[in-house]
Amino acid sequence: APPAAPAGTKLCVACRAGHVDTDGYCENCGHAQPRERDHVEQELDAVAAVSDRGLRHHRNEDAFAVSSAALPDGSPAVIAIVCDGVSSATRPDEASAAASATANEVLLAALPRGTHPQQAMHEAIVAAAEAVNLLATRPGRAGDHEAAHRAQNAPACTIVGAVVASGLLVVGWVGDSRAYWVPDDRTGPPARLTEDDSWAAQMVAAGLMNEAEAYADERAHAITGWLGADAYELEPHTASFKPDRPGVVVVCTDGLWNYAESPQDMARVLPPDAAGRPLHSAQVLVGHALDGGGHDNVTVALLPFAVPQQGAGSAYSPA
């Protein structure tokens, strides 16, 4: 793609008279210009992702990365990372882009070396957090302490990722972006593979509210864990699974799961041929969120999971 025109030289798409400033707005009429990230799609052989600005937000603060790598035994490992910028923080779009790219790079480097996917996922999330931390403006005066640093409203985002390799499914996350499991034949139950770092999840875990009450509260989506220099403590969550049947892993931001929250809801809106048409199915899921109101940015990645043939070896020990 050709390089973007310097700020102040590109003409507004609305009035065709004013120049566009560094924030992407026309200096003449104030119209927000279409951004490259407003709608993004990517498909590889065994994974696809779609990200959309939604109908209410002025920009897309989500980001994703999908890729594949070869394990030491030559078998493939498929990767999907999805990040959701924290809108109340500064530069959330930069945070999500940095986190997704960094996590993907770490996984692409670690998996071919033989690092277990769950350990690699942990390392990827830690590296993603460091990348987001670097976006924050550091205190400039000697004697500034951590409290002053935390008060800067540093760039922040959530992260969720999945790796499918050698019959193993690994997920990792911080925040309230989620991963779901949906069996191809729909005979087995779908499942949510992640637990939110959120106020609602804390209330449910403490037994103070049931899930319906907690998620009906206006504080439900206040996150308690995120990547960013002002995060209280980084606690990457990872989990590994060995499904006994083929299926699809849905990795998404809350812009999607707000419209298909339960595993059963997600299974109902996921097309039955999702394993064979992941990009089309990701488009359908984003369309479902937009039809529901599109109140947030919407990002989803789909990873088909195939059960290894009987007798095929695994590069890793049991989960």
Shared-domain flag, residues 115 and 218: yes
Asked if the structure places residue 143 within a domain, the reply is: no
> In whole angstroms, what is the distance from residue 65 CA to residue 42 CA?
9
Facing residues of 247 across strands? 183, 305
What residue numbers bound the domain in which 23 lies?
1-34
Report pLDDT for 72: 96
Asked if the structure places residue 86 within a domain, the reply is: yes
> In whole angstroms, what is the distance from residue 256 CA to residue 79 CA?
20
Shared-domain flag, residues 212 and 294: yes
Shared-domain flag, residues 23 and 159: no
Q: How many domains does the chain have?
A: 2
Asked if the structure places residue 245 within a domain, the reply is: yes
pTM of the model: 0.85
Shared-domain flag, residues 28 and 160: no
Tens-place pLDDT, residues 129-139? 999 999 996 44
Asked if the structure places residue 148 within a domain, the reply is: no
Shared-domain flag, residues 6 and 130: no
Is the alpha carbon torsion for 139, 143, 146, 150 positive or negative? negative
Tens-place pLDDT, residues 197-238? 999 999 998 999 988 888 888 898 899 999 999 998 899 999
DSSP three-state, residue 63: strand
